[in-house]
Amino acid sequence: MTVGNMESAVLFDGEKKGRGLKANKELSAGEVVFAEPSYAAVVFDRYNFPGYCSFYCKCICFVYFPLSLASQVCHSCFRRQAKLHRCAQCKFAHYCDRTCQTACWDEHKQECGAIKKIIKAPSENVRLAARVLWRIHKDAGIASDSQLVSVDELEDHVTDLSEEDLKQLKTDVHNFLEYWSYGRKQHSTDYISQIFGIIKCNAFTMSDQRGLQAVGVGLFPNLCLVNHDCWPNCTVILNHGNQSAVSSSLHSQRRIELRALGKIRAGEELTVSYVDFLNLSAERQMQLRERYYFECTCEHCSKHIKDDLMMAVAESKPSADKVKEVNAYSKECLEKIEKSRVEGNYNEVVKLCRECLEKQENVLADTHLHKLRVLSVASEVLSYVHSFTEAADYARRMVEGYMKLYHPNNAQLGMAIMRTGVTHWHAGQIEAGHAMICKAYGILLVTHGPNHSITRDLESIRMQTEMELKLFEQNEQVYHSMRDAALKKQPLASSSSADENIKGLFCKK
């Protein structure tokens, strides 16, 4: 596959919606429509709290980093690793190894000098704007053949910015000028503001290799041309590439991949979702208006599709007053849960979740958003503190709700089923666990592809659970005694990523 190949997608200029991309040929589920390396990308310098990332990854990450991410993530391949090598010049950039450092030098060399000069690296926004401008200079303003528009032709929405955003923009421009003074070529404040505007409404948040944490941000010009739909026909995924493969023929570059979620006819518009579907249509529209400055008129928003399920009440038909009361209670409780979660007070989180679920019982349906949010936090926290049986029960209920709401090939659905499967496996429920892991694998093959590191991890888990399931089916008693022995010998280590916990639970013979 050639990175940057745009044969399957063509640019069109729609009168009402503006420009967009459409399929140039028929595409099937899991097919890569196009892959694109970043025009420019940088690693975050601060640790991030869970928040909305653009496109695929609304972080549901549960891991908080006490240290700056800049020293924990490779600035070339964006993998999170324990031992990274530091750039001897600026002491800011970090890399897995020489291969990653060499691959990135072209992008880093001017930045390296600039950081060395001002001693402390500026914010990621400023670093990204500078990388964009260095790249524009390097390319002398000429976009490559595979790039459909030049970067400064992208939407910037500077005139739509709120007062608060304008204040931030002013600070960014000020910091940029201090940083950029290293470079020879000067730009007008207007042009620099335009670049910041472009970054604000087009930048793509990049996650680590396990999809657990947002670690950086990049600009992908062709991807920016793909319009939004709350029920999209494509998904976008960051593939970290393989730069350290022993054989150079197996090397691949870090890139985003636009992947078809199902069959797409030739001529059909290609779409991705910029926000999480699990919000009422009015809520999604508000997020899109505030962040991307447009009014979503997609079919799901205009017909309020699935809004009824997301607000549904229990079958026992509780009174309107009761529903109102429980909704208000849930809202308040979810705020408290979030606060305790950020503070790391997990006992309190679990206590609040249990109380809230009890109140919701027989009042809200299992697809109600308030219920799903509580189930999601409860299962994450309980599996983090290794209460797997209770965690598995909540996770299963959450996933059953998700399956009624999400597109069957939604990436977040796939990841949620994967985590739920692993939690069941942890809880010793091998049959349910294996079934869910297989289901998640099927979704990830479409959304992430077979070569993504998450899919590969899941594949090895799937082989392991398959083997254990066979053992379980042959002799349940032997299975349980082996499991107990393995657990005694190798207690589950506390780890951020669920699948890391269980690898090696049973020693492979």
Task: Provide the minimum distance between the beta carbon of 96 and Zn ion in the complex, in angstroms, as a whole number.
Answer: 3
74, 192, 391, 461: residue in contact with Zn ion (rule CB under 5 A): 74
Residues 216-245 close enough to bind Zn ion by CB under 5 A: 230
C-alpha–C-alpha distance, residues 76 and 461, integer Å:
28
76, 410, 447, 501: residue in contact with Zn ion (rule CB under 5 A): 76
Q: Give long-range contacts, CB 8 A cutoff, 24+ apart: 88-95.
A: 89/113, 89/116, 90/115, 90/116, 90/121, 92/121, 94/70
Q: Of 87 and 440, which has the nearer Cβ to Zn ion?
A: 87
Contact predicate 409/261, CB 8 Å? yes
Task: Provide the minimum distance between the beta carbon of 272 and Zn ion in the complex, in angstroms, as a whole number.
Answer: 12
Question: What does the block give as tokens for 90?
Answer: 């600026």
Helix, strand or coil, per DSSP, at residue 148: coil
Task: Provide the minimum distance between the beta carbon of 102 and Zn ion in the complex, in angstroms, as a whole number.
Answer: 11
- x/- string (CB under 5 A) for Zn ion, residues 109-148? ---x------------------------------------
Bridge-based pairing of strands 18-23 and 9-14 is antiparallel
Task: Provide the minimum distance between the beta carbon of 306 and Zn ion in the complex, in angstroms, as a whole number.
Answer: 11
Would you report the helix, strand and coil content of the chain in percent, each value rounded to 5?
Answer: 50, 10, 40
Amino acid identity at 158: V
Task: Provide the minimum distance between the beta carbon of 112 and Zn ion in the complex, in angstroms, as a whole number.
Answer: 3
Local structure of residue 496 (DSSP, 8 states): S
Q: Of 212 and 461, which has the nearer Cβ to Zn ion?
A: 212
Residues 276-305 close enough to bind Zn ion by CB under 5 A: 296, 298, 301
Point out which span in 72-80, 134-142, 317-325, 422-430 binds Zn ion (CB under 5 A).
Answer: 72-80
For the chain, the first-to-last Cα distance in angstroms comes to 37
Q: How many residues bind Zn ion (CB under 5 A)?
A: 14
430 binds Zn ion (CB under 5 A): no
Task: Provide the minimum distance between the beta carbon of 296 and Zn ion in the complex, in angstroms, as a whole number.
Answer: 3
Q: Of 76 and 410, which has the nearer Cβ to Zn ion?
A: 76
Q: Of 76 and 222, which has the nearer Cβ to Zn ion?
A: 76
Q: Of 100 and 430, which has the nearer Cβ to Zn ion?
A: 100
Angle, alpha carbons 272-74-116 (nearest 5°): 115
C-alpha–C-alpha distance, residues 306 and 327, integer Å:
18
Task: Provide the minimum distance between the beta carbon of 18 and Zn ion in the complex, in angstroms, as a whole number.
Answer: 16
- x/- string (CB under 5 A) for Zn ion, residues 81-100? ------x-xx--x--x---x
Amino acid identity at 184: R
Using alpha carbons, list the distances in angstroms from residue 97 to 70, 76, 83, 350: 15, 10, 10, 41
Task: Provide the minimum distance between the beta carbon of 127 and Zn ion in the complex, in angstroms, as a whole number.
Answer: 12
106 by Cβ neighbours in 10 Å (0-12 / 13-18 / 19+) ranks as exposed
Write the CB contacts of 438 (distance below 8 Å, at least 6 apart in sequence): 462
Task: Provide the minimum distance between the beta carbon of 364 and Zn ion in the complex, in angstroms, as a whole number.
Answer: 24
Q: Of 92 and 441, which has the nearer Cβ to Zn ion?
A: 92
Contacts with Zn ion by CB under 5 A lie at 74, 76-77, 87, 89-90, 93, 96, 100, 112, 230, 296, 298, 301
